[in-house]
Structure 1
Amino acid sequence: MIVITGATGALNGATVDHLLTLVPAAQIAVVARDVTKAQRFADLGVEVRHGDYADPAGLPAAFEGADQLLLVSSSDPKADAVALHGAAIDAAVAAKAGRILYTSHQNALLDTAFKPGRDHGGTEQLLQRSGIAWTSLRNGFYAHSLAWMTGPWRETGVIAVPGDGPVSWTARDDSAQAAAVILAAGTGFDGPVTITANAAPTFAELAATASELAGRSVVVELLDDDAWLAAQVARGTPEFMARFLLGFYQAARRGDFAGVDPLLATLLGREPQPATSFL
């Protein structure tokens, strides 16, 4: 049995959709905090179970019979994500899961400026100590984030950022499809597995492409951190979220998102979507 958490979300929901093309629905169970939101999977013959990382007592039952268990990472920037993930890992141990797969990130680094990266790094340490076989799906930074990371360049002709480092922008659906292929394979993927697009363009390179697409000049304006934060808050972004996003740019400046790996193309049997397709 393949058990998948977070299936009512965009990433693991897409993973289930892809997995249904590879294995019978009877071999899949999904875990959701609100089971009514998973009705579309139930209609296809997928077992739907209730489970919530914040309610660890109920998780072993939700994970029962899992030969493979795909844990989605917490997306709440204010949550103690490592504690939530730890509760899920402990429940997987209690349920005697055969393997844990975890939706991590390529910058799973304890010293990165980007908080989710530190959370992923901490969670991977818990996986290493769990005693269960594990696979960490280190996805590239999701390319749909360009919609807000690049700002209102269509109106202004300017991409204003507090630093410009390379980022392996990766299509979320490509990552979901790769996860489904790995789950269907069942073996051959141990420990960290890097899943990224084939290139890591800078914002300057994206601006050059945007210029071609728009038929007019689009340039990058580099701001210092304080000026960028002030501009974000002035546009209505809550200061907490602006500082959260600033960590991304600081990590990118250091090269935390620069790595690329050919594995994704191999898993998909085609070239991954490039960042430019999202412009």
Structure 2
Amino acid sequence: MKVLLTGTSGNLGSRVLQSLLDLNLVPASDLIISTSSPNKVAANAKQNDIQIVPGDFTNPDQLRKSFANSKADILFLVSYPSPSVDRWLHHKTAIDAAKQSGCMKLIVYTSLMFGGKTGMQSVAGVQQAHIKTVDYLNQSGMEYAVLREGIYAESWWLYAGFQPHPLPQGEKGKIEFVVPDDGPVAWVSWDDLGEGTAKILGQLATGDSKWIGQTLNLTGPGTSTLQDVARLVEEHSGRKAEVKLVGKEKAKEYHLQDGQKEEWLVSSWVGWFDGIRDGECEVVDPLLGELLGRQPKGIKDCAKELFTPH
């Protein structure tokens, strides 16, 4: 089956593409890249002569024509890169285009590991677009699989209060995580998510139907709180790290005071912590390890790379 890939210039999608090629999970001749920025298409796609088609989620007419002309059987729909609930409208456009294409039979959608075991009940604003998208997939009449990608270990800096990343060399002062709240998170690495997701796609592309209609949780091997992350930062940076839990309003005020961050971003960010506090991100599922044939890397396994100043 032919697989049309979106999001291949992003941190997750680029690793999915790399794993599909490196592990020969889907022949390059059966891969198609949909993109709104052809100049950003990865070199490995060009080297393997992968077909590239237009893919602007904000242009429904273009997307419908592009999907239909691709003759793809499977759409790999990477969630639109925005924390706003409005991004679900871009997902709706892609789902509609897939349904109207006449060729696509299956949509594989990447959701997020907020919302506990199912992802369908969450107090975090960042999960609302995913909930709306999965509801729409249910109503679409299309076959689908939902892949709930775990919280990226590499994004620790964002959850920890917009820390510089990598941590700069030569600084000695205390690092402060000024955040609304804290809770357990099953962090996992980009590389392992990319490979595990690619293996699911590869199985589906061979006609294996066992994942169809399912919601799959791809998580790290255990949980760590921001307090735990602070201890890892201290261990690998040699600097003191303190977590300050100040509530949503004070955290928002603190991170807007330098004028460097956009209000909509900080407003979205503070809302994540209601879900984290309530344990929405603490689910640990063995599936990713089973797909990889090894234990996936959590934040402790990535600590030296993430927290050593350079």
User: What is the TM-score with the length of structure 1 in the denominator?
Assistant: 0.92
Indicate yes or no: 2:152 matched with 1:148. no
1:109-148 pair list within 5 angstroms: 109=119, 112-148=122-158
Q: Which residue of 1 aligns with 2:285?
A: 261
Gaps of 5+ in 2: 168-172
Q: What is the aligned-residue RMSD (CA, Å)?
A: 2.0
1:139-178 pair list within 5 angstroms: 139-151=149-161, 152=163, 155-178=173-196
Deviation of 1:130 after TM superposition, in Å, equals: 1.5
Indicate yes or no: 2:224 matched with 1:201. yes
1:47 paired residue among 51, 70, 91: 51
Indicate yes or no: 2:109 matched with 1:106. no
Indicate conservation of the 8 Å contact 1:110/1:119, yes or no.
Answer: no
Distance 1:206 1:83 in 2: 35
Distance 1:39 1:157 in 2: 36
Indicate yes or no: 2:57 matched with 1:74. no
Deviation of 1:217 after TM superposition, in Å, equals: 4.1
Distance 1:12 1:130 in 2: 24
Distance 1:42 1:61 in 2: 23
Q: Which residue of 2 aligns with 1:2?
A: 3
With over 3 angstroms needed to count, the CA separation of the structure-2 counterparts of 1:79 and 1:119, relative to structure 1, is closer
Deviation of 1:79 after TM superposition, in Å, equals: 6.8
**Which residue type is aligned with residue 257 of structure 1?**
C
**Which residue type is aligned with residue 32 of structure 1?**
T
Paired residue secondary structure (1:275): coil
Distance 2:130 2:263 in 1: 23
Distance 2:136 2:228 in 1: 38
Aligned length: 279
Paired residue secondary structure (1:30): strand
Q: Which residue of 1 aligns with 2:170?
A: none
**Which residue type is aligned with residue 202 of structure 1?**
T
Paired residue secondary structure (1:178): helix
Identity %: 28
Distance 1:224 1:182 in 2: 39
**Which residue type is aligned with residue 226 of structure 1?**
E
Deviation of 1:87 after TM superposition, in Å, equals: 1.1
Q: Which residue of 1 aligns with 2:256?
A: 233
Indicate conservation of the 8 Å contact 2:29/2:50, yes or no.
Answer: yes
Deviation of 1:274 after TM superposition, in Å, equals: 1.5
**Which residue type is aligned with residue 121 of structure 1?**
I
Q: Which residue of 2 aligns with 1:189?
A: 211
Deviation of 1:268 after TM superposition, in Å, equals: 1.5
Deviation of 1:216 after TM superposition, in Å, equals: 5.3
Indicate conservation of the 8 Å contact 1:70/1:102, yes or no.
Answer: yes
Distance 1:56 1:33 in 2: 12
Q: Which residue of 2 aligns with 1:31?
A: 34
Q: Which residue of 1 aligns with 2:95?
A: 89
Distance 1:177 1:112 in 2: 27
Gaps of 5+ in 1: none
Indicate conservation of the 8 Å contact 1:106/1:257, yes or no.
Answer: yes
Deviation of 1:201 after TM superposition, in Å, equals: 0.9
Paired residue secondary structure (2:76): strand
Distance 2:282 2:193 in 1: 17
With over 3 angstroms needed to count, the CA separation of the structure-2 counterparts of 1:215 and 1:35, relative to structure 1, is closer
